[in-house]
Chain A
Amino acid sequence: MERPLTHNIVPGKPPLSLAEYEKSGGYQAARKALTSMSPKEITEMVKASNLRGRGGAGFPTAQKWSFVPMGADAPQPKYLVVNADEMEPGAFKDRLLLEGDPHQLIEGVMISAFAIESEIAYIFLRKTYTLAARRILTAIAEAYEKGYLGKNIFGSGVNLSLHLHESAGRYICGEETALLNALEGKRAVPRNKPPFPPVVGLWGKPTVTNNVETICNIPHIIANGAAWFRALSRVPDGGTKIYGVSGKVQRPGAWELPLGTTIREIIEEHAGGMKEGLQLRAVLPGGASTDLLTADHLDVKMDFNSMQAADSRLGTGTMVAIDDRTCIVGLVLNIMRFFAQESCGWCTPCREGLPWAAKLLAAIEEGHGLPEDIERLELLTRLLSPGHTFCALAPGAMEPLQSALKYFEDDFHRHIKERRCPWK
Chain B
Amino acid sequence: MLTFEEKKEIEALLPNYPTRQAAGIDALVILQRHRGWISDETLGQAAEFLRMTPAELDSVATFYNLIFRKPVGRHVILVCDSVSCWVMGGDTILDYLKSHLGIGFGETTPDGRFTLLPHVCLGACDKAPVMMIDDDLHVELDPETSPDRIDQLLSLYP
Enumerate chain A residues within 8 angstroms of B123, measured Cβ to Cβ.
Answer: 86-87, 91-92, 94-95, 126, 128-129
Complex CA–CA separation, A171 to B123 (angstroms) = 12
Say yes or no for B101: interface residue by CB 8 A criterion: no
Whether the Cβ atoms of B126 and A338 lie closer than 8 Å is: no
Enumerate chain B residues within 8 angstroms of A248, measured Cβ to Cβ.
Answer: 87-88
Identify the A interface with B (CB < 8 A): 86-92, 94-95, 122, 126-131, 163, 165-171, 182-188, 203, 244-248, 252-254, 284, 288, 318, 320, 322-323, 326, 330-331, 334-335, 338, 341-342, 344
* A163 nearest in chain B by CB position: B16
Whether the Cβ atoms of B64 and A247 lie closer than 8 Å is: no
Of A127, A183, A330, A335, most buried by chain B (CB within 10 Å of CB) is A127
Complex CA–CA separation, A355 to B22 (angstroms) = 31
Enumerate chain B residues within 8 angstroms of A338, measured Cβ to Cβ.
Answer: 82-83, 120-121
Q: How many A-B residue pairs have CB under 8 A?
A: 140
CB distance from B63 to the nearest CB of A (A): 5
Given contacts A127-B66, A167-B25, whether A247 and B124 have CB atoms under 8 Å apart is no
Task: Enumerate B115-144 residues with CB–CB distance to A below 8 Å.
Answer: 119-128, 132, 135-137
Task: Enumerate B48-84 residues with CB–CB distance to A below 8 Å.
Answer: 50, 59-60, 63-67, 78, 81-84
Enumerate chain B residues within 8 angstroms of A246, measured Cβ to Cβ.
Answer: 84, 87-88, 125-126, 128
Say yes or no for B150: interface residue by CB 8 A criterion: no
Enumerate chain B residues within 8 angstroms of A288, measured Cβ to Cβ.
Answer: 82-83, 121
Whether the Cβ atoms of B21 and A168 lie closer than 8 Å is: no
Whether the Cβ atoms of A91 and B121 lie closer than 8 Å is: yes
* A334 nearest in chain B by CB position: B86
Whether the Cβ atoms of B66 and A90 lie closer than 8 Å is: no
Residue in contact with B25 in the complex, picked from A128, A168, A323, A342, CB distance below 8 Å: A168
* B52 nearest in chain A by CB position: A185
Given contacts A165-B16, A288-B82, whether A185 and B126 have CB atoms under 8 Å apart is no
Known contacts A187-B60, A253-B126; can you find 15 more A-B pairs with CB under 8 A? A89-B82, A91-B121, A92-B123, A92-B126, A128-B66, A129-B123, A165-B26, A166-B26, A169-B66, A185-B50, A203-B19, A244-B126, A252-B125, A331-B86, A334-B81
By DSSP majority rule, is chain B's interface helix, strand, loop, or mixed?
mixed
Identify the B interface with A (CB < 8 A): 16-19, 21-26, 28-29, 50, 59-60, 63-67, 78, 81-84, 86-88, 119-128, 132, 135-137
Whether the Cβ atoms of A247 and B65 lie closer than 8 Å is: no
Of B25, B29, B137, most buried by chain A (CB within 10 Å of CB) is B25
Complex CA–CA separation, A89 to B64 (angstroms) = 17
Whether the Cβ atoms of B78 and A320 lie closer than 8 Å is: no
* A170 nearest in chain B by CB position: B64
Whether the Cβ atoms of A245 and B83 lie closer than 8 Å is: no
Of A92, A131, A167, A185, most buried by chain B (CB within 10 Å of CB) is A185
Whether the Cβ atoms of A185 and B60 lie closer than 8 Å is: yes
Enumerate chain B residues within 8 angstroms of A127, measured Cβ to Cβ.
Answer: 29, 66
* A342 nearest in chain B by CB position: B120
By DSSP majority rule, is chain A's interface helix, strand, loop, or mixed?
mixed
Whether the Cβ atoms of A92 and B83 lie closer than 8 Å is: no
Please list 13 pairs of residues, one from A and one from B, whose beta carbons are closer than 8 Å in the complex, sorted by A's number. Answer: A89-B83, A92-B124, A128-B119, A129-B123, A183-B22, A187-B59, A188-B63, A246-B84, A252-B128, A320-B83, A320-B87, A331-B87, A342-B120
Whether the Cβ atoms of A187 and B87 lie closer than 8 Å is: no
Given contacts A91-B125, A284-B83, A320-B125, whether A247 and B119 have CB atoms under 8 Å apart is no
Complex CA–CA separation, A248 to B126 (angstroms) = 10
* A126 nearest in chain B by CB position: B123
Whether the Cβ atoms of B84 and A168 lie closer than 8 Å is: no
Whether the Cβ atoms of A167 and B83 lie closer than 8 Å is: no
CB distance from B50 to the nearest CB of A (A): 8
Complex CA–CA separation, A363 to B16 (angstroms) = 49
Complex CA–CA separation, A186 to B25 (angstroms) = 9
Interface pairs A-B: 10 shortest CB-CB: A168-B64, A89-B82, A169-B66, A246-B125, A252-B126, A89-B121, A185-B24, A246-B84, A169-B65, A185-B21
Complex CA–CA separation, A86 to B123 (angstroms) = 7
Enumerate chain A residues within 8 angstroms of B17, measured Cβ to Cβ.
Answer: 183, 185
Whether the Cβ atoms of A334 and B66 lie closer than 8 Å is: no
Complex CA–CA separation, A330 to B87 (angstroms) = 9
Enumerate chain B residues within 8 angstroms of A87, measured Cβ to Cβ.
Answer: 120-121, 123
Whether the Cβ atoms of B87 and A326 lie closer than 8 Å is: yes
Complex CA–CA separation, A291 to B25 (angstroms) = 34
Whether the Cβ atoms of B84 and A89 lie closer than 8 Å is: yes
* A288 nearest in chain B by CB position: B83
* A325 nearest in chain B by CB position: B87
Given contacts A187-B59, A253-B126, whether A247 and B121 have CB atoms under 8 Å apart is no
Enumerate chain A residues within 8 angstroms of B23, measured Cβ to Cβ.
Answer: 185
Enumerate chain A residues within 8 angstroms of B127, measured Cβ to Cβ.
Answer: 252
Enumerate chain A residues within 8 angstroms of B124, measured Cβ to Cβ.
Answer: 92, 95
Given contacts A89-B120, A247-B88, whether A186 and B83 have CB atoms under 8 Å apart is no
